[in-house]
């Protein structure tokens, strides 16, 4: 019998943050690389699009006109999934039929007035402006007594269901803590109660020691491919300091987060020389009025591309019915991202 080798043998890895498992089948990634790596369509967008509902001065659905903004611009989503003014109520028809009313506030953040840019193409200072507005919005929404959780996220690229290429993100804030942050909260709480340190502080220290999955780091944030990553090029940005949320970040730390966000997305774009799609978002402590020393601020990146600008991973079949599976290991993905230049391919 051979000895177990994680570079070759199928195995399951445990996600310490959620308590879930992922199946890793590295032997399948050893198949020869077939076909060339297609580059993406190099679409050329104008700096201003008169038909775009996010460009400065343009009208949105419902007739409201955007101001002539110059940095970031935030507004209440015209088609909010959650509404602030909702009657209280529930259905409690035994164990099997449960429902409750939900409240919240949804916002859209334009990252730049420029229709043709994306985060990796914006300057460091401009991305700092995005992180600053995240902090401000997190604090303001979190202050509302009916907001228990603030979910900040970005959908990038049409394959991720993004409706408009103008650089933007969203915030959905709700009274209850949604499913994903709740899973992470439970794991982080159990760990913190047992060790008196945050789960991600210990995890980050070990990852820095092992140095097999570190993609990029600066003084305040580390970009890595998590041990338990599901998506081929999944990544996580973790703060070096165990802060529970954005509210306590200093100017230097905000700048560090902006740098990590930019450096990761530049490498993503360089990988297949395409505008790399993903869903990304921050996970942080709930704003439910309780103390959350167990929470450790981080940002997840879930990109669907697998082998080229057009070949994406499908989460179907086994993934939907059993558990997620991947071929290429996170260690190999890290190498491929790490070797990408820090300069965006379009500026070469
Ligand atoms: P995407 O990030 O998925 O592209 O979503 C953009 C959001 O913009 C979407 O939630 C909102 C949609 O409701 N929107 C407006 O608020 N006003 C508009 O005029 C169009 C779209
Ligand atoms: Zn636009």
Q: pTM for the full model?
A: 0.96
How far is it, in rounded angstroms, from Cα 161 to Cα 291? 35
Ligand 1 pocket member 163 (CB < 6 A): yes
Per domain, the residue ranges of the chain are 45-347
Would the CB of 314 count as within 6 Å of ligand 1? no
Q: Could you name the CATH architecture of 45-347?
A: 2-Layer Sandwich (3.30)
State how far the Cα of 272 lies from the Cα of 180, in Å rounded to an integer.
Answer: 30
Q: Residue 24 C-alpha to ligand 2 middle, in angstroms? A: 40
pLDDT at site 163: 83
- Torsional sign, CA 38, 39, 40, 43: negative
Q: How confident is the model at residue 66 (pLDDT cuts 50, 70, 90)?
A: very high
Collapsing DSSP to helix, strand or coil, 244 comes out as coil
Mean pLDDT of the chain, nearest integer: 95
Active-site residues, by number, are 168
The preferred substitution site among 52, 54, 59, 61 for testing ligand 1, maximizing ligand atoms within 8 Å of CB, is: 61
Q: Give the C-alpha separation, 35 to 5, whole Å.
A: 28
> In this structure, which residue's CA is closest to atom 11 in ligand 1?
77
Q: Which of 65-74, 130-139, 270-279, 307-316 has the lowest mean pLDDT?
A: 307-316
Q: How confident is the model at residue 31 (pLDDT cuts 50, 70, 90)?
A: low
- Please report the atom of ligand 1 found closest to the CA of residue 160: 3
Residue from 75, 163, 281 whose mutation best tests the ligand 1 pocket (most atoms within 8 A of CB): 163
85 Cα distance to chain centroid:
29
Give per-residue pLDDT as tens, 139-152.
Answer: 999 999 999 999 99
53 lines ligand 1 (CB under 6 A): yes
In this structure, are residues 297 and 240 in contact, taking their beta carbons and an 8 Å threshold? no
Which pLDDT belongs to residue 50?
96
CA of 77 relative to ligand 1 center, distance in Å: 6
Of the listed ligands, the closest to the CA of 60 is 1
- Note the pLDDT of residue 29: 75
Region of poorest pLDDT, from 10-24, 36-50, 240-254: 36-50
CA R_g for the chain: 21
pLDDT value of residue 4: 93
Mean predicted confidence (pLDDT) in 104-109: 98
């Amino acid at each position: 019998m051979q000895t177990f080798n994680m570079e070759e043998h199928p195995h399951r890895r445990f996600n310490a943050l959620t308590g879930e498992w992922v199946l890793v089948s590295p032997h399948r990634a050893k198949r020869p690389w077939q076909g060339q790596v297609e580059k993406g369509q190099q679409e050329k967008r104008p700096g201003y699009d008169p038909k775009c509902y996010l460009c400065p001065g343009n009208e949105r659905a419902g007739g409201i006109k955007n101001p002539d903004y110059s940095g970031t611009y935030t507004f209440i989503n015209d088609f909010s999934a959650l509404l602030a003014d909702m009657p209280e109520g529930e259905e409690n028809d035994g164990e099997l039929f449960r429902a409750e009313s939900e409240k919240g506030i949804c916002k859209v953040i334009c990252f730049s007035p420029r229709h043709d840019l994306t985060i990796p193409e914006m300057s460091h200072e401009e991305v700092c402006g995005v992180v600053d507005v995240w902090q401000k919005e997190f604090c303001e929404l979190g202050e509302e007594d009916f907001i228990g959780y603030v979910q900040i996220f970005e959908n990038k690229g049409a394959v991720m269901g993004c409706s408009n290429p103008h650089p933007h993100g969203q915030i959905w804030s709700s009274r209850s803590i949604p499913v994903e942050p709740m899973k992470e909260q439970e794991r982080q709480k159990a760990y913190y109660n047992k060790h008196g340190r945050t789960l991600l502080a210990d995890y980050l220290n070990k990852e820095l020691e092992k140095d097999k999955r570190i993609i990029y780091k600066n003084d305040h944030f580390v970009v890595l491919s998590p041990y338990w990553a599901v998506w081929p090029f999944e990544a996580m940005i973790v703060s070096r300091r165990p802060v529970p949320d954005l509210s306590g970040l200093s100017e230097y730390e905000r700048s560090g987060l902006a740098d990590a966000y930019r450096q990761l997305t530049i490498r993503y774009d360089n990988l297949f020389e395409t505008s790399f799609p993903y869903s990304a978002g921050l996970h942080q402590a709930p704003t439910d009025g309780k103390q959350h020393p167990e929470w450790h601020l981080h940002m997840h990146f879930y990109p669907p591309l697998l082998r080229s600008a057009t070949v994406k991973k499908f989460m179907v079949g086994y993934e939907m019915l059993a558990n997620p599976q991947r071929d290429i290991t996170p260690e190999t993905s890290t190498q491929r991202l790490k070797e990408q230049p820090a300069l965006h391919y379009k500026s070469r």
